[in-house]
Chains A and B, each alone.
Chain A
Amino acid sequence: MHNNTIAELAEGLTNKTFSSEELTRHYLDRIKTLDGQFNSFITITGELALAQARRADARLANGDAAPLTGIPIAHKDIFCTDGVKTSCGSKMLDNFIPPYNAKVIEQFNQAGAVILGKTNMDEFAMGSSNESSFYGAVKNPWDTRCVPGGSSGGSAAAVAALLAPAATGTDTGGSIRQPAALCGLTGLKPTYGRVSRYGMIAFASSLDQGGPMTRSAEDAALMLNVMAAFDPRDSTCIDQAVPDYSATLNDKLDGLRIGLPREYFGDGLDPEIEQAIQAAIKEFEAMGATVKEVSLPHTELSVPCYYIVAPSEASANLSRFDGVRYGYRCENPKDLQDLYTRTRAEGFGDEVKRRILVGSYALSAGYYDAYYRKAMQLRRMIKNDFMACFDEVDVIMGPTTPNPAFGLGEKTNDPVTMYLEDIYTIAVNLAGLPGMSIPAGMTGGKPVGLQLIGNYFSEARLLNIGHRYQQATDWHQQIAAAAGGEK
């Protein structure tokens, strides 16, 4: 069963080949047996999952099932789950059990999906390797000596190891697309405002966006059909009709205009990844697409821009973790100052502290104009770069990451090198555009990700392009040996 996509599993449920309870037990067993080597889950919600599965089976029996009814899903531990610990990968929230669901969780509950558990992640989604988690590093199923990427590394590893048919992730600077690329998955970051952020613990509010991590574009469409919804509780959520993302998957690609940004193919790109991307482009040309070079001149500046904007917002967003109302509190604080200082010193990890400090610095009196204001100006220029491209092309393609999965511990002592892993993904968040990574080759036994960037609200087109590619290729069907490829 675990080799199947959501679409195939849904068919099995409808045809009564197996029940949701059986399916759920199967995945829970796999998690129990196999996750020791990957560490992809922080919390396994066995009882909740089985209860939801039985309800789903009732719905299936009654014939009022939705496409995801009975499908087990893993959720990044950044989405608040009513009655289930939501840690955000941090000691700070190790004891935090929210009394409410994130909008995304509500949507899945309404669809009748099953919550398998909460996946590991970089602490407060700050990281590109899943090594900053309080719950330990996650290992890449393709090579357990390597990182799965981050920050949605637990979700990526869980799906790649076939411990869940699909998972949710969040993407602030590449946190869905980069781990999807490193683990051979399809990962979609929707347009900013497409998916509600309510109940999704904020890292950088103007950049964060939830999205699906799946084994195919078809599955990603099924997931996004559930996740995308207007939510009046999130003022940045955009009230725009949600199309049926599955309906247009098979549209033809004739005349599709593809842009290749020259800045995405320069120094620093692994040559084998470049070859894989070029091969994928050839595939699209064979399907009737035209290709032209475009330019995103501020690409190089997107990393410093991001590392002003994101930490600035984070420095304020994380102020609420003060030991006063919930979460970690240091023992025996002697006064208020001590309560704050020790709670935050003990509750946050190094990467989180680093970013809070960077953000506080960038916003401080006398530096605001030089850093934050400049970064905001740059952000507009980065957006304008994309807009200029979309005058000429329908979709921008390039590598998702400059390198394949790197070794555990390899970049932890060099934050800037780590930050540069996100060079191709970060600008998409700064512009608020949708971006998707799909598997497009292998290098040294590790997956390569092709990134597709579209104009605002072009998710349906991106999924269509990804699906057509996946109809013509089988990179997305490759399975990591550690996942046990047998049916």
Chain B
Amino acid sequence: MQWETVIGLEVHVQLATKSKIFSGASTTFGAAPNTQACAIDLAMPGTLPVVNEQALRYAIMFGLAINAEINQRSVFDRKNYFYPDLPKGYQTTQLDHPIVGPGVVEIPLSDGSHKSVRIHHAHLEEDAGKSLHDDFHGMSGIDLNRAGTPLIEIVSEPDMRNAEEAIAFAKKLHAIVTSLGISDGEMAQGSMRFDVNVSVRPKGQNEYGTRTETKNLNSFRFMEKAIALEVARQIDLIEDGGSVKQETRLYNGDTGEARSMRSKEEANDYRYFPCPDLLPVEIDDAVIQELRDNLPELPDAKAARFIARYGLSDYDAELLSSDRATAEYYETVVKACDDSKLAANWVSGELSARLNADETSIAHSPVTAPQLAGLIVRIKDNTISGKIAKQVFEAMWNREGDADTIIESKGLKQMSDSGELEAIVDQVLADNPDVVEQYRAADDKKRKKLLGGFMGPIMKATKGQANPGMVNQILVKKLNT
């Protein structure tokens, strides 16, 4: 049978506010445990929440970016459950009256087409703390630094039909929130986390199959793997005569395996009710208008601008506008080296590959944008060849200095002295008299190929530093006389 996959996403995005959603404690990542938790975060008796206005503004900005309705009256609710990293015994969230209503996100597909994914709503809520289960002599440690960090939870409709679409959607959300500057988008630090709802159904069937939810995936790669795993599991189950049970599942990135966390029957009754400590949030038209007027450039507009202004391909433009840090990096490089194509090739090529390999983000790139521009300038003025440039880039990545320093200290400057090069060319031609003969007897097409054959030994003799353009000229001149 032909199966169709149906995927919906719930995406938690940490907002980049300075302080927490209901307290004045800092949200900076990586502090010593419990040093960024105040009396309110600890749910000390008598303490009360006050909504962080910036969190409201960020949520509204997201809504505007996806052309969603902004609910001018939204309500915070209490979601009740006991867990040690949830100090109040309830999470303050929004259930029936979220701040952002239905909207749409356009995603690019690999065949060049686009697809609309509908957003059901997005709401504000607080993050929980962290439970640490090792090194406490059989006890658990609780770190409440993260408790109260503002989140928006973005809930999509089940509009995606395969992992590729889900990833494209997730990446687009990442691009939107980072372009808006409402989240740092640092996946490794948990700034964006995905819950994936997956079901399968026979192709052509209208009703949805029973879905499962795989929670808390914090990378695109894990998401892709978890979806593939779950789709295969569900199809196997059904094809073996069984049925899918509605449940919440956990994917383990280390083992690449998933397991059931709780079934529908075991699900908590969260006893939601409106939080009496917080008044309903009322948003003025003026605030919405002000945010709309000052909305930063969004990824789609940015991509269009990159194509028009820098002459980039659709692919490069999409890639380079995919998050604010990358776009800013790229534009800084272009400005400093004045070559948008070379800059695009390097940022989306070598740099991007290296970042991926090291699992780091462009914000933490050891090679800064001005440094990369410095390297490109040296390619353009023929100080080094593109090939040597990769070597220089590698050294820059290892923090050995900027391009000029490395070129100097490693003696990688391109050999452009015609006398020196002529001597080397003469030697290589003398070593290969038969090839010289072949060349002279050949037609244009074959000559080109044979000419290339001389490049290898010449580059070897110059440790790759020979200026390829000049070598070419010298070769042609010598062979044609």
Bind each other: yes
User: Are A202 and B278 within 8 A (Cβ)?
Assistant: no
| 11 A–B contacts from the bound complex (CB under 8 Å) | A98-B44, A98-B45, A99-B39, A198-B48, A199-B46, A320-B89, A322-B82, A336-B84, A336-B140, A363-B271, A364-B269
Knowing A319-B89, A336-B84, the reply to whether A80 touches B45 (Cβ < 8 A) is: yes
Residues in B whose Cβ lies below 8 Å from that of A204: 276
Write the nearest CB–CB distance from A454 to chain B, whole angstroms: 23
Q: Which residues of A contact B278 (CB under 8 A)?
A: 235
> Is there an interface contact between A313 and B276, defined as CB atoms closer than 8 Å?
yes
User: Looking at the complex, which one of A86, A205, A313, A372 makes contact with B45 (CB distance below 8 Å)?
Assistant: A86
Q: Is B340 an interface residue (CB 8 A)?
A: no
Q: Which residues of B contact A318 (CB under 8 A)?
A: 89
Provide the bound-state CA to CA distance between A322 and B88, in Å.
Answer: 9
A363 touches B87 (CB 8 A): no
Contact in complex: B273, A368 (CB < 8 Å): yes
A472 interfacial contact with B, CB 8 Å: no
Known: A316-B80, A316-B273. Contact between A199 and B47, CB under 8 A? Answer: yes
For window 89-117 of chain B, which residues contact chain A by CB distance below 8 Å? 89-90
Closest residue on chain B to residue A365 by CB atoms? B269
* Complex alpha-carbon distance, A372 and B96, angstroms: 15
Distance, CA A80 to CA B142, complexed state (A):
25
Instruction: Give the distance to chain B from A156, nearest Cβ to Cβ, in Å.
Output: 22
B470 close to A (CB within 8 Å): no
Task: Verify if A128 is at the interface (C-beta below 8 Å from B).
Answer: no
A107 to B78, CA, bound (A): 30
Q: Are A235 and B84 in contact (CB under 8 A)?
A: no
- Known interface pairs A319-B82, A319-B90; A234-B48 also in contact (CB < 8 Å): yes
Within the complex, what minimum Cβ distance (angstroms) separates B271 from chain A? 4
**A340 interface residue, CB < 8 Å from B?**
yes
Chain B contact residue count (CB 8 A cutoff): 29
Q: Which residues of B contact A205 (CB under 8 A)?
A: 276-277
A residues 346-366 in Cβ contact with B at 8 Å: 360, 363-365
Given contacts A204-B276, A325-B43, contact A320 B48 (CB under 8 A): no
B80 and A363 within 8 A (CB) = yes
Q: Which residues of B contact A340 (CB under 8 A)?
A: 82
Binding site for B on A (CB under 8 A): 79-80, 86, 88, 93, 96, 98-100, 102, 197-202, 204-206, 232-236, 312-313, 315-316, 318-320, 322, 324-326, 336, 340, 360, 363-365, 368, 372
Q: Which residues of A contact B43 (CB under 8 A)?
A: 320, 325
Residues in B neighbouring A98, C-beta threshold 8 A: 44-46
Question: Which 6 residue pairs of A and B lie closest in terms of their CB atoms, listed nearest first?
Answer: A319-B89, A205-B276, A363-B271, A206-B276, A199-B46, A320-B43
Whether, in the assembled complex, B51 has its beta carbon less than 8 Å from a beta carbon of chain A, the answer is yes
Residue-wise interface mask of B (42-62) relative to A, using a CB-CB cutoff of 8 A (1 in contact, 0 not): 111111111100000000000
- Whether the Cβ atoms of B80 and A197 lie closer than 8 Å is no
A320 touches B277 (CB 8 A): no
Q: Tell me the bound Cα distance from A198 to B39 in angstroms.
A: 12
Closest Cβ neighbor of A323 among chain B residues: B84
Known: A324-B142, A336-B84. 14 other contacts (CB 8 A): A79-B46, A86-B46, A98-B46, A198-B48, A199-B47, A206-B276, A235-B48, A313-B276, A319-B90, A320-B43, A320-B88, A325-B44, A340-B82, A365-B271
Residues of B within 8 A of A93 (CB): 45
Q: Does B232 contact A (CB under 8 A)?
A: no
Q: At the interface, is chain B mostly helix, strand, loop or mixed?
A: loop
Question: Max chain A CB contacts within 10 Å: which of B39, B49, B88, B273?
Answer: B273
Which residues of B from 244 to 298 have beta carbons under 8 Å from A? 269, 271-273, 276-279
In contact, A198 and B78 (Cβ under 8 angstroms): no
A236 to B272 CA separation, bound complex (whole angstroms): 20
User: How far does the alpha carbon of A221 sit from the alpha carbon of B307 in the complex, in Å?
Assistant: 72
CA A102 – CA B276 in complex, angstroms? Answer: 19
Q: Are B39 and A100 in contact (CB under 8 A)?
A: yes
Query: Nearest chain B CB to A201's CB is how many angstroms away?
Result: 4
B46–A198 CB distance below 8 A: yes
Chain A residues with Cβ below 8 Å from B46 are 79-80, 86, 98, 102, 197-202
With most chain B CB atoms within 10 A of its CB, the pick from A200, A204, A324 is A324
A162 nearest CB across to chain B (Å): 29
Contacts of A232 in B (CB 8 A): 50
Of all chain B residues, the one with the shortest Cβ separation from A327 is: B45
Note all chain B residues with C-beta closer than 8 A to A236: 276-277, 279
Inside 8 A of B90's CB, which chain A residues have their CB?
Answer: 316, 319
Kindly list chain B residues whose C-beta atoms are within 8 Å of the C-beta of A102. Answer: 46
Q: CA separation between A65 and B122, bound complex, in Å?
A: 53
Instruction: Quote the shortest CB–CB distance from A423 to chain B (angstroms).
Output: 23
* Minimum C-beta distance from B77 to chain A (A): 10
For A336, the chain B residues whose CB sits under 8 A away are: 84, 140
Residue of A nearest to B268 (CB): A365
Pair A322/B279 contact, Cβ less than 8 Å = no
CB neighbours of B47 from chain A (8 A): 198-199
Residues of the B chain whose Cβ atoms lie less than 8 Å from the Cβ of A234: 48, 50
Rounded to whole Å, the gap between the CB of B257 and the closest CB of chain A is 25
The chain B residue with its CB closest to the CB of A99 is: B39
In the bound assembly, the distance between CA atoms of A319 and B46 in angstroms comes to: 13
Q: How far is the CA of A325 from the CA of B84 in the complex (A)?
A: 9
Question: Within residues 1 to 59 of chain B, which ones have a CB less than 8 A from any CB in chain A?
Answer: 39, 42-51
Residue numbers in B under 8 Å from A79 (CB-CB) = 46
Residues of B contacting A197 in the complex (Cβ-Cβ under 8 angstroms): 46, 48
* Least distance between A431 CB and chain B CB atoms (Å): 15
Q: Write the nearest CB–CB distance from B233 to chain A, whole angstroms.
A: 29
A235 pairs with B51, CB closer than 8 A: yes
A105 to chain B, nearest CB (A): 10
Q: What's the minimum C-beta distance from B28 to chain A, rounded to whole angstroms?
A: 22
Q: Which residues of A contact B273 (CB under 8 A)?
A: 312-313, 316, 363, 368, 372
Q: Which of A86, A100, A197 has the most CB of B within 10 A?
A: A100
B271 and A360 contact, CB distance less than 8 A = yes
Indicate which residue in A100, A199, A235, A315 contacts B49 across the interface (CB closer than 8 Å).
A235
Query: What residues of chain B lie closer than 8 Å to A96, measured between beta carbons?
Result: 45
Q: Which residue of A lies closest to B43 (CB)?
A: A320
B278 to chain A, nearest CB (A): 5
Partner of A235, one of B88, B140, B271, B279: B279
Chain A residues closer than 8 Å to B50, beta-carbon distance: 232-235
- Most A CB contacts (10 A, CB to CB) among B43, B84, B90, B276 go to B276
List residues of chain B with CB within 8 A of the CB of A320.
Answer: 43, 45, 87-89
Residues in A whose Cβ lies below 8 Å from that of B279: 235-236
Residues of A within 8 A of B272 (CB): 363, 368
A88 lies within 8 A of B45 (CB): yes
Residues of B within 8 A of A200 (CB): 46
Nearest chain-A residue to B45 (Cβ)? A201
Tell me how far the C-beta of B132 lies from the nearest C-beta in chain A, rounded to whole angstroms: 14
Give the distance in Å from the alpha carbon of A315 to the alpha carbon of B90 in the complex: 10
Given A204-B276, A236-B279, A340-B82, A315:B45 Cβ within 8 A? no
